Amino acid sequence: MSDNQMHPLVNGIAVIIDDKIGTGDDLIDDLIDQIERFGVPCLKYTELPRHEEISHYHGISFVLLDWRLHDNIEGVSVPDSILQPSIEFLCEIKEKLFVPVFIFTNENVDTIETKLAETEEELYYKDGRPNFIFVKSKSELKDDSLFTKISNWINTTPPVYVLKTWEHQYRVAKGGLFAELYTFNPSWVTVLKKCFKGDNLPMPAVSVEIMNLIKDNLFARMRMTGLEEANLGTEINSFDREQIRSILEHSRFIENDKLSADEVRCGDVFSSENKYFINIRPDCDCIPDRNDPTSTIDDVKLYLLGGSIVNNEKKEYSKKLGQLSPQATREHVFCMYQNKSLFFDFKDFTIEEYGQIKSTKPRIGRLLPPFSTQICTRYAQYLLRQGLPRIPPEAISDE
């Protein structure tokens, strides 16, 4: 990519934070000029934004932050008390937005990276592995090479590359979907509401159905094959066993604090006294009774399979299958919750109302497809199994 070409994944507003903006400083003015030349709108700050403003930053492309604010003297060590607001700002960006942050500075780059590494528990910044923060000297960007540096960094930082690819595909799909529906009929939401209300669904269930319809149509429009293998990284030597297990767990299980308390779905997992229960009832049945106006989510009957922790993973693991070996009467889920693998017993089936169990067996999270789908499919096969007569040994040839 040439120096005068912007990365196709850099879309959206840029937030620039530098106390030298508007003072005639050639370095920061040059960087802003490079950004605006490509038509990228800029929000410019001479001090850190207020916390209330950060919540409105959804949709921005990146943040450009000057490490040294408020006229500190060149070459003088910056006290931690001055740097702490910048660290807190970076933590808030990470937790609320997770957008790329470019620190372009006149300071020593190694010094800044060392300081960032000291906040590993907050920022999870570590030299030698992909980070959402990119540190570069301003003096290296005088030759219109800003977007070249950004492009190279995106292409060699898998988490940011995947984030930007996903955002790009999501924006294209979202704009196309809502524009198309509006073109068909500006009242399309009312039409959908009437369809679902015609089935006597209560409003919470109508809300879920409309959101699910939008989600399914949106994801169907997204180009899921847009990732380049070369930009996804090749080495996992830096990962230890626990980190790999943590990644697998978070890819298949969502903890309860991230779920809506107003709905219950297939795959929801409940727990009580070291025993686990997974709901295998279809989503379309996990809604209040459409024929009873007084029915609420508490009245929904859940179909629960009981489960426990797998005590010996090595014994259950099949290297050939790359899975915990399936058994006729139960299904395993590897590393599902708190670094534990669980199995669910098809013989341990109960039906309970959500309102009765949510206090005695609180929900701990939701197992996502295809893992929840696999449990439902396996249970259906178990439920409808057909017993066959034994084959007499005399019927088998001695040879």
What are 94-119's pLDDT values in tens digits? 888 888 898 888 788 888 888 888 87
Convert 257-297 into a string of H (helix), E (strand) and C (coil).
HHCCCCCCCCCEEEEECCEEEEECCCHHHCCCCCCCCCCCH
| CA atoms 316, 318, 323, 327: torsion sign | negative
Q: Which residue has the higher pLDDT, 140 or 188?
A: 188
Mean pLDDT of 266-281: 95
Q: Which residue has the higher pLDDT, 395 or 307?
A: 307
Give the rounded distance of the alpha carbon of 263 from its chain centre.
Answer: 20
pLDDT value at 5 more than 80:
no
pLDDT value at 235 more than 80:
no
Tokens representing residue 269 in the block:
């997992």
Question: What are the start-end ranges of the H helices in 97-202?
Answer: 109-117, 120-123, 146-155, 158-184, 188-197
Residue 291 — pLDDT band, cuts 50, 70, 90? confident
Output the average pLDDT for the chain: 85
Q: Which residue has the higher pLDDT, 381 or 393?
A: 381
Least confident of 128-142, 253-267, 368-382: 128-142
Give residue 9's pLDDT: 67
Residues of the chain with CATH 3.40.50.2300: 14-155
Tokens representing residue 352 in the block:
């309970």
Give residue 77's pLDDT: 54
Asked whether the beta carbons of 142 and 30 are under 8 A apart, the reply is: yes
> What is the H or E stretch that residue 255 is in?
strand 253-255
Asked whether the beta carbons of 182 and 188 are under 8 A apart, the reply is: yes
Query: Which residues on neighbouring strands pair with residue 363, listed in sequence order?
Result: 270
Mean pLDDT of 220-235: 83
The end-to-end CA distance of the chain, in Å, is 69
Q: How far is CA 123 from CA 99, 104, 117, 120, 310, in A?
A: 13, 18, 8, 5, 34
Tokens representing residue 288 in the block:
């209040």
pLDDT value at 363 more than 80:
yes
Gap between the Cα atoms of 271 and 310, Å rounded: 15
Residue 190 — pLDDT band, cuts 50, 70, 90? very high
The CATH T-level fold of domain 14-155 is Rossmann fold (3.40.50)
pLDDT value at 2 more than 50:
no
Residues of the chain with CATH 2.30.30.110: 240-383
Radius of gyration of the chain (CA): 27
Tell me the per-residue pLDDT of 124-167, one tens digit each, with 9 for 90 and over. Answer: 777 667 788 888 887 777 666 777 888 888 888 888 888 888 88
Residue 334 — pLDDT band, cuts 50, 70, 90? very high
Mean pLDDT of 29-40: 85
Own/partner contacts of 68-77, CB < 8 Å, gap of 24 or more, are 68/105, 68/106, 68/107, 69/17, 69/18, 69/19, 70/19, 71/19, 74/106
Residue 249 — pLDDT band, cuts 50, 70, 90? very high
Tell me the per-residue pLDDT of 209-223, one tens digit each, with 9 for 90 and over. Answer: 898 899 999 999 998
Task: Supply the DSSP symbol for 129.
Answer: S
Tell me the per-residue pLDDT of 57-70, one tens digit each, with 9 for 90 and over. Answer: 888 888 999 887 75
SS3 (DSSP) at 355: helix
Asked whether the beta carbons of 266 and 375 are under 8 A apart, the reply is: no
CATH pick for 240-383 out of 3.40.50.880, 1.10.760.10, 2.40.10.10, 2.30.30.110: 2.30.30.110
What is the DSSP track for 305-331? Answer: EEEEE-S-HHHHEETTTTEEPPBTTEE
pLDDT value at 11 more than 80:
no
Q: Which residue has the higher pLDDT, 319 or 250?
A: 250
Give residue 380's pLDDT: 93
Mean pLDDT of 31-53: 88
pLDDT value at 73 more than 70:
no
Give residue 121's pLDDT: 65
Gap between the Cα atoms of 155 and 33, Å rounded: 23
Give residue 138's pLDDT: 77
Tokens representing residue 204 in the block:
């919470």
What is the DSSP track for 219-246? Answer: HHHS-TT---GGGS-S--TT--HHHHHH
Give residue 132's pLDDT: 86
Q: Which residue has the higher pLDDT, 155 or 398?
A: 155
Q: Which residue has the higher pLDDT, 27 or 286?
A: 286
Q: What is the dihedral of CA 123, 129, 135, 139, to 10 degrees?
A: 170
What pTM does this model have?
0.77
Gap between the Cα atoms of 55 and 50, Å rounded: 10
Nearest Cα residue to 357 out of 286, 296, 269, 281: 269
SS3 (DSSP) at 351: strand
Give residue 364's pLDDT: 96
pLDDT value at 263 more than 70:
yes
